[in-house]
Amino acid sequence: MTQPFRGTYDQLPELAIRQQHIVDVARFQASLYGYDLVSTPIFEYAEVFSRSLGETSDVVSKEMFVFEDRHGDKLVLRPEGTAGIMRAILSNKLAHHLPQKYFYAGPMFRYERPQKGRYRQFHQIGVEFIGESASGSDVEVIALAHDVLEKLGVGQKVELQINSLGDQESRQAYRDVLVTYFSDLKDHLSEDSQRRLDKNPLRILDSKDEGDRVLVEKAPNLKDYLNGASQDFFGEVLDGLAVLKIPYVLNPHLVRGLDYYCHTAFEFVTDSLGAHSAVLAGGRYDSLAQMMGHKDPIPSIGWASGIERLNLMCEQEAPVTRPVSMILIGPQAETQGLVIAQWLRREGIKVVLSHQGSLKSRMKYANRIHAHQAIILGDTELEKHTAIVKCLDTGAQQEVALSQLINCLKSSS
C-alpha cells in the first residue's frame, strides 16, 4: 500500500512546522494563564467515553474507533481530550488537590466522512480548568481562547457565540417542554432526532438536518426556563466578557453535543472555511466526574480546537530558522568539519552538512533547504584556519578565520 488510510494524512516538514507553530503559540498563551502541559494515552477503555459522552451522542454511536485487545478488553482511540483528562485526575487521586489547570495537544480519532479540515485522525489543542465553580473561571477560559486566536492572526475571522444550558433543575424543566413540543412533530423529525427525543431531546437543537433546523427555529427558548441561579451565573459570565471587551453573540440554540455540559457553552465560529462552522468550542461540565464514577461533582470548564482547521485559516507564516549549509571538500575537511559543525550547533546555529556531489550540486541543495549562508571548507582552507562564507541571498562571499566564524554567522543571520 502506498496511500495513507482514508481520512489520514502525512505531516511533511512544511505542514508540520505550521501546525507545530499553532501548538507553540497556544501553549505559550496558556502558560501565561498558569496552565500546565499534560498528555494522556491515545487509547482508553471504551467506558471512559461511552459513560461520559453519552450513548446517544454521534461520537459514541457513530464515530468512535473501537477495538478489543488480546484479553478481550474493549478499547477506544480517543475521540476527544476532556474525558481522558478527567480520568487522569481521578486515576492519579488529584481530586483532593484542586484546582488543576491543564493544556494539551495531540491526535484524536473519529470515524466520520473526511472533508475540508476534518479528518479521521485529526489534531487538537485544548485546555481544562478543573475544580473551579466560580463564573470567573468561565471568563478566563474564554479569554484564553480569544487570546490564542488573536495571536494566530485569525481573531478577525471568528465570532464568539455563547449560550447557557443552565443547571440540572433548569435543564430538566426545559427538557420536559421540549419533549412535549417535539413529540407533536415527531413524524417530521429526522431518524436521529426521533431517537434522541426520548433519551436527550436537547441534542435535537444541535441537529444539522435541514428539516430539523426548521422545527428548531420555532422551538421553546432555553433562556425562558433558566432558574434564578442559572441566570445570575450566566449574567456574571457575560459581564466578565464585557469588562474584557470580548465581543459575543447570544445563540439560544447552541447546546454542544455531549452529555456532560452545563451552564456556559460557547463556540468561536467562522465563515472563512466555506461554511458556518466552529473552529474552537467548549463549555462547563460540572457533572463529568460523577458520570465517570466519582462520588462528588467536580466543577470544570474547558475548550478544544482543531489544529487542521486553524491551519487553513492562518495566513501568517510560521517562523522558520534558516540553516547554514556546510560544504566539506577533502578528507581532512570531512573530519574536522564534523567538529566545527558541532561547535556551531552548541552556539545555537542550525547547521546542515553536505558531504557528497559536486560543489555546484551542493550549492543547489543549500538553496533548496533555504540556507542563508554556505560555509565552504576544504583542506586548503583548513591549512590556513579559515573558511569561505557565502551569503546565498546576495552572492557575496568572504574568507573568514575559523576563530571569527561564529561572530560572522550571527552578525549576518
User: What pLDDT score does 249 carry?
Assistant: 97
Q: Are residues 263 and 332 in the same domain?
A: no
Q: Are residues 263 and 358 in the same domain?
A: no
Q: Are residues 308 and 328 in the same domain?
A: no
Q: Are residues 242 and 139 in the same domain?
A: yes
Which of 313, 335, 352 lies at the terminal end of a domain, its last residue? 313
The tally of domains found in the chain comes to 2
Residue 192 lies in a domain: no
Q: Are residues 113 and 245 in the same domain?
A: yes
Residue 219 lies in a domain: no
Domain residue limits at 116: 13-167+227-313
Sites in the chain below the pLDDT cut of 70: 1, 51-62, 116-117, 256-259, 274-276, 413
Which of 278, 294, 313 lies at the terminal end of a domain, its last residue? 313
Integer Cα distance of 27 and 36 in angstroms:
9
Degrees (nearest 5) of the Cα angle 303, 306, 309? 135
String of DSSP letters for 2-28: -SPPTT-----HHHHHHHHHHHHHHHH
Q: Are residues 291 and 401 in the same domain?
A: no
Closest residue by Cα to residue 352 from 374, 331, 329, 378: 374
Q: Are residues 308 and 352 in the same domain?
A: no
Q: Are residues 239 and 331 in the same domain?
A: no
Torsion of CA 198, 202, 207, 210, to 10 degrees: 90
User: What pLDDT score does 275 carry?
Assistant: 66
Q: Are residues 34 and 115 in the same domain?
A: yes
Cβ atoms within 10 Å of 309's Cβ, excluding its own: 23
Q: What is the pTM of this model?
A: 0.88
- CB burial class (10 A; 0-12, 13-18, 19+) of residue 218? exposed
User: What pLDDT score does 276 carry?
Assistant: 65
User: What pLDDT score does 26 carry?
Assistant: 97
Q: List the beta bridge partners of residue 277.
A: 270
Q: Are residues 139 and 263 in the same domain?
A: yes
Which of 278, 313, 348 lies at the terminal end of a domain, its last residue? 313
Cβ atoms within 10 Å of 187's Cβ, excluding its own: 6
Q: Are residues 356 and 261 in the same domain?
A: no
61 near 71, Cβ under 8 Å? no
149-163 burial, b at 16+ Cβ within 10 Å, e below that, comes to: beebebeebbebbbb
CATH code, domain carrying 267: 3.30.930.10
CATH code, domain carrying 340: 3.40.50.800
In what side-by-side order are the strands of the sheet with 386-391? 351-354, 324-329, 373-378, 386-391, 397-401
Residue 198 lies in a domain: no
Residue 57 lies in a domain: yes
Residue 217 lies in a domain: no
Residue 173 lies in a domain: no
Q: Are residues 248 and 390 in the same domain?
A: no
222 near 247, Cβ under 8 Å? no
Residue 246 lies in a domain: yes
Residue 189 lies in a domain: no
Torsion of CA 275, 144, 122, 278, to 10 degrees: -20
